[in-house]
Amino acid sequence: MNGAESLVRTLIASEVEVCFANPGTSEMHFVAALDKIEGMRCVLGLFEGVVTGAADGYFRMTGKPASTLLHLGPGLANGLANLHNAKKARSAIVNIVGEHAGYHIKHDAPLTADIEGIARPMSHWVKTSQSARDVAADGAAAVEAARAAPGQIATLILPADTAWNEGAQAVTARAPEPRPAVAGDAVRAAAAALRQPDAALMMGGIGVRDPAMTLAGRIAARTGCRIISENASGRIERGAGRVIAQRVPYVVDLALRTLGALRQIVLVGAKAPVGFFAYPGKPSTLAPPECTFTLLAGVDDDIVGALEALADELGARTTPPAHVAPLAPPAMPAGKVTLEGIAAVLGALLPENAIVVDESVSSGRGFASLTAHAPPHDWLCVTGGSIGFGLPAATGAALGAPGRKVICLEGDGSAMYTLQSLWTMAREQLDVTMVIFANRSYQILHGEFAAVGAGAPGRRATDMLTLDRPHLDWLPLARGHGVEAGQASTLDEFAAQLRRGLATTGPYLIELVF
């Protein structure tokens, strides 16, 4: 058994069952091992941003790390932007990055690069295997690092000779350590804070999903506190019958208004709210200066246990939860496309158990309220602000949750970063309906240009913010990747297209022109 085979057996024994791959020469022994050994689903992406973003989406839906297979420094580099999003989402991923044979590195061949240096900014754990006999143990250590709560990016660099030389026996990664329990003092301090007026629970990490959200709802019912959540979370469970948190808005002025009345914020897997960007003359922190923060649980702590203890402390363990959304989808709108109308169509048609992957950027800022009363669904956000997340994450989410409808909401500018995802969706026949918001500009930047005090864009600046001359034509782009597509330019057409996409088994792309 060579090193590559020992690694594949180790990954499979450690329940890493999917490999998103874009291999090259230095990874051929790993590919050959995938061939020989049963138990790993291999999914090819035609660009590494697809590969890493898919691994992120897969983890968000399964709670299990996938492996990626990347070709030396440049292959890893192409995957970094979506690793950044995954890292900020606290997703677990095991990257396998090929490297030259150890003895070849000193010759500085064209692909030689500082792979550890490239990996480090986006990885919690980085290691280069030193010999084929180490590879199995290194692989198990990578899985253990990835699975450390709440989830980490582990990058194992595999020199070609450690893949092809004789390896050791496969190793099974140890089960992750349980999340550390929160101290009683923290629970009592949180309870005291919530007994004050103008208090909120601020949820993050797995705190935005059940059972944490139901506990938060019980506590809110008992204390009258509000429930807010970070602007972006890896995976929010929401919709009818679920406790709904109010996400901190992206726009600073709106966030300041939303949070302005608060005097107590209890952090549950969340960080204190900060602006996505800094703007001249505006604060970085979004809560009022007189607000007191109390940490109940960090993102890696036992969030559910802490909320149970807090509910007990407040006598709320069986209190019926507040902030539960009733089933009340919006009425179906018609006519001209507006952002509110798009949100209403989504809210009216979201199927039960849908997975919404949201990279709608500027178009989607109003989607939350009109979809909150749709049947229960999951909502996956861009957590690191690195665009090109949506299509790959939808790819991975669909792979990780077969039988569920995935709806990917994409800005046209964002979609272009990782459009190659469409081909993987077509190849794997993934049940993803994509909505491309074809406003033919980096619409968000028109607002940001003014928000940073740069005035009104002139000709050259406007050129940098718009996607016209030529406009992108999404129907042929989709078909070129093997994906069926349709266009909508009214809300009626959008509803018809969305129904059609949801009725399709396999990928379907809707170009929504407005």
Q: List the x/- string, 291-320, binding to a copy of itself by CB under 8 A.
A: ------------------------------
DSSP letter (8 states) at residue 133: G
Instruction: Return the closest-CA partner of residue 306 out of 233, 237, 207, 231.
Output: 207
Distances 164 to 101, 111, 408, 501 between C-alpha atoms, Å = 9, 19, 40, 45
List the beta strands (DSSP E) in 305-439.
354-359, 377-381, 406-411, 432-438
- Contacts (CB under 8 A) with a copy of itself, residues 163-202: 164
3-state DSSP call for residue 127?
A: strand
Pick from 130, 284, 369, 505 the residue near a copy of itself by CB under 8 A. Answer: 284
Pick from 453, 499, 503, 505 the residue near a copy of itself by CB under 8 A. Answer: 453
- Contacts (CB under 8 A) with a copy of itself, residues 430-449: 444-445, 448-449
- Contacts (CB under 8 A) with a copy of itself, residues 47-106: 47, 49, 72-75, 77-78, 80-81, 84-85, 88, 100-101, 103-104
How many residues can be counted in the chain? 514
Q: Where are the alpha helices (DSSP H) in 401-442?
A: 412-415, 421-428
Q: List the x/- string, 16-35, binding to a copy of itself by CB under 8 A.
A: -----x-xxxx-xx-xx-xx
- Contacts (CB under 8 A) with a copy of itself, residues 397-426: 413, 416-417, 419-420, 423, 426
Pick from 289, 318, 326, 460 the residue near a copy of itself by CB under 8 A. Answer: 460
- Contacting range for a copy of itself; rule: CB under 8 A; set: 190-198, 316-324, 472-480, 492-500: 472-480
- Smallest distance, Å, CB 185 to a copy of itself? 25
Distance, CA of 495 to CA of 491 (rounded, Å): 6
- Smallest distance, Å, CB 181 to a copy of itself? 25
Work out whether 506 is an interface residue with a copy of itself (CB under 8 A): no
Instruction: Return the closest-CA partner of residue 146 out of 77, 40, 68, 53.
Output: 68
Strands 246-247 and 226-229: parallel
Query: Is the alpha carbon torsion for 196, 293, 153, 110 positive or negative?
Result: positive
Distance, CA of 433 to CA of 181 (rounded, Å): 40
Give the count of residues interacting with a copy of itself (CB under 8 A): 105
Work out whether 251 is an interface residue with a copy of itself (CB under 8 A): no
Q: At what angle do helices 3-13 and 135-147 cross, to 10 degrees?
A: 30
Pick between residue 214 and residue 418 the one whose CB is nearest to a copy of itself.
418
Pick from 326, 335, 403, 470 the residue near a copy of itself by CB under 8 A. Answer: 470
Distance, CA of 429 to CA of 167 (rounded, Å): 36
- Contacting range for a copy of itself; rule: CB under 8 A; set: 107-115, 200-208, 294-302, 346-354: 107-115
Work out whether 289 is an interface residue with a copy of itself (CB under 8 A): no
Residues forming a β-bridge with 434 = 408, 509
- Smallest distance, Å, CB 461 to a copy of itself? 4
- Smallest distance, Å, CB 5 to a copy of itself? 11
- Smallest distance, Å, CB 134 to a copy of itself? 18
